[in-house]
Structure 1
Amino acid sequence: MTADPYAANSSSASSSSPPSDAAHRPYREVTDAGGRVYRIGESDRDILGHSRKLMVYLPWLTMMAISVFEYAYGSAEDTLSHAHGWTQSNTFWILSVWVFFQAGIAFPAGWLREKGVLTARGAMYIGSGMCLVGFLALSHLSNVWLAILGFGVVGGVGAGLVYATCINMVGKWFPERRGARTGFVNGGFAYGSLPFIFIFNYGFDTANYHRVLDLIGCYVLIVVVGCAFFFKDPPKNWWPADIDPLTYGDTGKGADALAKNPPAVKQYTPKEAIRTGMLPLMWIALVMTAGVSIFGISFQVDYAKEVGFGPLVAASSMGVMAVINGIGRGVVGWMSDKWGRKSTLVMVIVVLGLAQFGVIWAGDVKSEGLFLFFAFLSGFGGGAFYPLFAALTPDYFGENYNASNYGLVYSGKLISGLFGGGLGSMVVAAWGYDGAYALAGVTSMIAAAIALLLRQPGRTRGGASTPQLVA
């Protein structure tokens, strides 16, 4: 009998596995040279009863459903203002509060999930009900403060619970090939809004707004609950049975992606991730990049009108931005598996920065074609960085605490929402659109420089892991 080359600890499947023969299927826990533990031997079907691909398609459908909150809201603002007697400032603050709570709930929700207080399915069920409340509030509450509470706070928390759960679910089930899949799921949060943009532009008025908003709320509830029924996290330290985690760079399915993006050297708790210095750097880079993205979403149509472009070009530029914003997320996820996560992230942030200067140029020469082209680039860069940060976080800090760790990184959007929209409007008033877009471009370039400083904790430049103290 030969010795186990991995010095594995043999165990049997825990009671958390589903009933049937799979409940007694053995697994092993192997430890690499750096002290990281991998649980191998169980396939996705052993645990779920079906392929883990379902943990890509169901989160994707759910993300498309909740995309109506952020990306289609702007198309409904005029009708809502007339129906409820709100000012433009009122509608702006309703969305700003929504962004604040949607991003802010990510860390506490992740912490509760990892403490066992909240399951993935439970988070989705609670979130779906809160999403419905958000749309009912937007439909029936004319008092702006109540609307802020209902749509902004309750709806924001609900959408944030769903968003964070979907993104983390993909990262947990695809530790070896998470880039393309995370990007695909994340993309649904942008282009999933397209049908609602058309509805709000062509079939939404003060005569039917109650019915339309109520139906959208019910639609979101049904989709989220239906998908959530199948949601389940893998066991801690789980690793796909068909890949050797200790020789991932040599052979096996997903080896190329792992060679470019090696797994984290250990499972970092949030406190440990912060102490590495890399999580704070990621947070700062996301704050700056998301601020530039939100600025572009907030002011692109207004700038097009200011320059003198027709309403069709102005509206088309926003449509182009929304579509490319979503598609770009899937494309860069695939690219990051091939080229490496960090290099792809830096490229995306640089493209976003250059697009801001391009918008200024297009406005100066009064070229509608150039304006649409740079709207395309801005949309690509302005969405593609989200799945890259979502995939980079477990790459650096592991999957076991990913819900909390990515929640901390994603919380940077709290700050971005304030300076991308609110501070952006102040800069436009003081320096004009050219000055504001130039500042956005410079901010993006600084964010790219910060991203260049990112290094996987515990791993040398040559790719070897350094020994880690294991508690």
Structure 2
Amino acid sequence: MKTTGYDSAAVPYREVTDRHGRVYRIGESDRDVMGRARWTMVLFPWMGMLGISSSEYAFTSAEDTLHEAHLWSSGHIFWLMGVWVFFQAAVAFPAGQLRESGRLPARYAMLLGALGTVLGYLSLAFAPNVAVAYLGFGMCSGIGAGLVYATCVNMVGKWYPERKGGKTGMVNGGFAYGSVPFVFLFTSYMDLSNYRSVLVAVGLVCCAVVACAGWFFQDPPKNWWPPHVDPLAPTDDPKIRRALQKNPPAPRQYTPREAARTPVLWMMWFCLLCTAGINIFGIAFQVPFGKDMGFAGGIVATAMSLKAIVNGTGRGVIGWISDRYGRRNTLVVVCVVLGTAQFGVLVSGQMGSMPFFLFCSMVSGFGGGAIFPLFAAMTADYFGENNNASNYGMVYSSKLVSGLVGSGVGSVVVGAWDYEGAFVLAGGIGLASAVLALFLRAPGRPRARRRIVPNPHPLGEEMA
């Protein structure tokens, strides 16, 4: 019998090992570890994600005002978003390494993220030239958002290792629908007379939300497992039993070096690159595409808001669905939906059908949002929770490329092939991603094979 090292109380725990050699630390409840229920570690990460959502999902809604205020070209606006996404993804792996080593506690990661968020909005408000915007918004805000995103998403999986899909999806959803009021604010209210005060106010509010949520963050001990769920025996709870059957825990805890040696991690990396690129392409170009197709600005803002709402809601719903039907199977369906929706957005715009455009926008938002919690939960399912911040950081680093491709290169493709060629290409990539997802399997877990017993009496053999 061992005891924890917490100052508040010495709570007994024990470590058990399953048939694969994975260690589970059981005996300590969530209240023993941090003095409160673990559902709070869903609430506070969700709040943190709300605080950073406007930087990605609402930014392009401010395109017209920023263009007029600073005389930045539309190309700069889209590349600013691409640089933001680049740094947001670039920080995921090093932040995970610092987090897992204990050199960057979750609370400090969140406070740094809050600082980066407000610096980004201040640079948009007062930048004397576009280079300052790239530095302040693209780099500082992107790094801050990356710290918050990586910390929030991985925190939930650690506290809910037995049923992480729905919880991870709910937290991930905050990254989308938290931007809804800012889409309308930037589209309908902000103009040349008030853009600086609006941007500063938004930056301060988002900073406060992230900092307040992050103050309550705390990691569980390594290998922690909830005491009411026996990791070595089937549980009586049908929801937990189904989730563990469809998404069994990783056979062992993979270090980042070990995970990087498995082909499946890089297949996940490439699949996320493709699907995230489609999602960012839709965020960046749905507003200008709708305007070019003749839809009123209010309709386009509504479409973008619905996209963000469904994007966020879809993340929570898809996590719950993946707990019931399996992460990989759900991912295949999501990729098909995401790819098909791109053709729908294009056709609806060409037809001038506002209801169809709104519907396809929502479907695209659902597919684009659902991929992120799926990959976050799948990484923990395949490689374990102990190093999930680093391992998911490697997978999520594909957004380094997808951000630049979806936004920056997307503008080049639109210029060369028009919207028709760009949306057709995005749809084809989505469908190809569904095929790739079929080959994703947890490393180290033996495949279940039926034992084939030879027929002792082959067909046509005479019985003695």
TM class by shorter chain equals: over 0.9
Contact 2:61 2:287 (8 Å CA) reproduced: no
**Hey, what does 1:64 align to over in structure 2?**
50
Alignment of 1:260-299 (within 5 A): 260-299=246-285
**Hey, what does 2:33 align to over in structure 1?**
47
**Hey, what does 2:115 align to over in structure 1?**
129
Q: Which of these residues, 6, 11, 19, is aligned with residue 2 of structure 2?
A: 11
Separation in 1, partners of 2:68, 2:237: 62
SS at match of 2:228: coil
Number of matched pairs = 450
Structure 1 gaps, min length 5: 1-9, 465-471
Contact 1:261 1:341 (8 Å CA) reproduced: yes
Alignment of 1:319-468 (within 5 A): 319-462=305-448
- The answer on 1:89 being equivalent to 2:69 is no
SS at match of 1:24: coil
Contact 1:393 1:405 (8 Å CA) reproduced: yes
Contact 2:177 2:309 (8 Å CA) reproduced: yes
Separation in 2, partners of 1:149, 1:35: 47
Structure 2 gaps, min length 5: 451-464
Distance 1:282 1:218, change over 3 A: same
**Hey, what does 1:166 align to over in structure 2?**
152
- The answer on 1:188 being equivalent to 2:177 is no
Separation in 2, partners of 1:139, 1:462: 58
Alignment of 1:197-216 (within 5 A): 197-216=183-202
Separation in 1, partners of 2:265, 2:395: 7
Range 347-356 or range 80-89, more displaced: 80-89
Separation in 1, partners of 2:175, 2:449: 34
**Hey, what does 1:107 align to over in structure 2?**
93
Contact 1:12 1:24 (8 Å CA) reproduced: yes
Contact 2:85 2:404 (8 Å CA) reproduced: no
- 1:151 Cα offset (Å): 1.1
| Structural RMSD (CA) | 1.8
Range 424-433 or range 134-143, more displaced: 424-433
Separation in 1, partners of 2:100, 2:201: 34
Distance 1:146 1:361, change over 3 A: closer
Separation in 1, partners of 2:410, 2:123: 28
Range 363-372 or range 153-162, more displaced: 363-372
**Hey, what does 1:467 align to over in structure 2?**
none
In the TM superposition, what whole-angstrom CA distance separates every residue of 1:109-158 from its partner, at most 9, and x where no partner exists? 00011112111111111111122222221222221101110111111111
Amino acid at match of 1:358: G
Distance 1:366 1:137, change over 3 A: closer
Separation in 1, partners of 2:185, 2:84: 21
SS at match of 1:242: coil
- 1:253 Cα offset (Å): 6.4
Separation in 1, partners of 2:351, 2:136: 44
- 1:250 Cα offset (Å): 6.1
In the TM superposition, what whole-angstrom CA distance separates every residue of 1:332-360 from its partner, at most 9, and x where no partner exists? 01101111111111111110011112223
Separation in 2, partners of 1:432, 1:107: 36
Separation in 1, partners of 2:279, 2:180: 18
Amino acid at match of 2:191: D
SS at match of 2:369: helix
SS at match of 1:39: strand
- 1:161 Cα offset (Å): 0.5
Amino acid at match of 2:346: I
- The answer on 1:224 being equivalent to 2:210 is yes
Separation in 2, partners of 1:146, 1:309: 33
SS at match of 2:147: helix
Separation in 2, partners of 1:208, 1:367: 34
The percent of aligned pairs where both chains have the same amino acid is 57
Contact 1:257 1:337 (8 Å CA) reproduced: yes
SS at match of 1:27: strand
**TM-score, normalised relative to structure 1:** 0.92
Separation in 2, partners of 1:48, 1:179: 23
Separation in 1, partners of 2:449, 2:400: 34
Alignment of 1:135-174 (within 5 A): 135-174=121-160
Range 448-457 or range 293-302, more displaced: 293-302
Separation in 1, partners of 2:47, 2:139: 23
